[in-house]
Amino acid sequence: MQRMIRATLSLLNLFSFNLIAFGAEPAKVQDTVDVPREDVVAHDPVLIKEADTYYLFTTGPGVSVWSSSDMDNWTMLDPVFDATPDWAMKVVPGFRGHMWAPDISYHDGRYLLYYSVSTFGSNDSCIGMASNVTLDPSNPDFEWKDHGVVVRSEPGLQDWNAIDPNLVFDEGGQPFLAFGSFWSGLKLAPLNESLDRVEESAAPIAIASRRMTLEVPAPGEAPVLQKGNDAIEGPFIYRKGDYYYLFASVDYCCRGKDSTYKMVYGRSKKIEGPYLDRDGQSMLEGGGTLLKEGNERWHGLGHNGVSEIDGQEYAVFHGYDGETEKGLPKLLVEPLSWTEDGWPELE
């Protein structure tokens, strides 16, 4: 019963996103050049800078890419993949090239892009990885090299979902991949030295969960959901000072103006957790301090990453724009500040 409820919620959630992503309403843009930030249609955005150019990667066919010289006006570039990798369609039946929730970082001379391959309403999913020595398409060395499957989840074998990746290193330099959406929650797994495979000998570590529970009904009565649900996804771990900060998105995205998405966080002195919110509640037990939620215009805010660029930290996320007919997901970038006792804040 519980698994069926989770699967149904996930299916509705992802089906709604499909309608938004491929709906008839166009973005309010002039072609795809010099698009004002408030008109950039973007879901699950991540941001990085190379030289004098900002690059934005988002959910989209082949992973969508934008560039900007000032973060205010954006130009769409060719996607990372002009053709879907053969392995993706073979490993995940039903996948058709729309890649979700990318993660971009720079390490040891390479840009590393992790991306999600999945199907609607299922944890039949993979995280893949591609690398490039530059993000500048005019550079003669520009070439995305795909490295295949990093980690896989399969229905009936895992109670977690291998999507929404985020690369992070601990204080000793050990690489980890955070990931997860719905099901049993967010996970953390060590990576190999090449950063292209999860270590098979180590089981993923649970770092956050909102898994719903069912109240045991009296004979003849229907089961009743207890407080909470399992809608948590999009982990992003950011190390600052003595702490690792786990950001996540809870409640429901992908429903346009009906979205209830919001961003929460906790922190830990160990990368494996436990991650506690400002009230001391563990994120494994449904905890998480609110970072930001929607308002009259933005109906649901979420899937945030943190980018440090030229000494300034930014939260990068999307919100569903109430000034569009269907509540299109738009790019939002805000400076991230910190309290004296080390907690993140947005205005």
Question: Rounded to the nearest 10 degrees, how much is the dihedral formed by the CA atoms of 111, 190, 164, 94?
Answer: 100
In angstroms, how far is CA 99 from the centroid of its own chain? 11
* Residues with Cβ within 8 Å of residue 132, at least 6 apart in sequence: 110, 111, 113, 142, 143, 144, 145
Q: Are 346 and 332 a contacting pair, CB within 8 Å?
A: no
Cα–Cα nearest to 250, from 237, 239, 235:
235
* Residues with Cβ within 8 Å of residue 328, at least 6 apart in sequence: 20, 25, 27, 41, 256, 320, 321
44 is catalytic: yes
Distances in whole angstroms, Cα of residue 120 to Cα of each of 2, 62, 167, 266: 18, 17, 24, 29
The letter for the amino acid at 275 is: Y
DSSP state of 257: G
The letter for the amino acid at 204 is: P
Catalytic entry in 44, 103, 277, 293: 44
Cα–Cα nearest to 284, from 295, 294, 273:
273
233 is catalytic: yes
Cα–Cα nearest to 315, from 252, 208, 234:
234
Catalytic entry in 103, 164, 230, 233: 233
Q: How many CA atoms lie within 13 A of 272 on its CB side?
A: 7
* Catalytic (active-site) positions: 44, 233
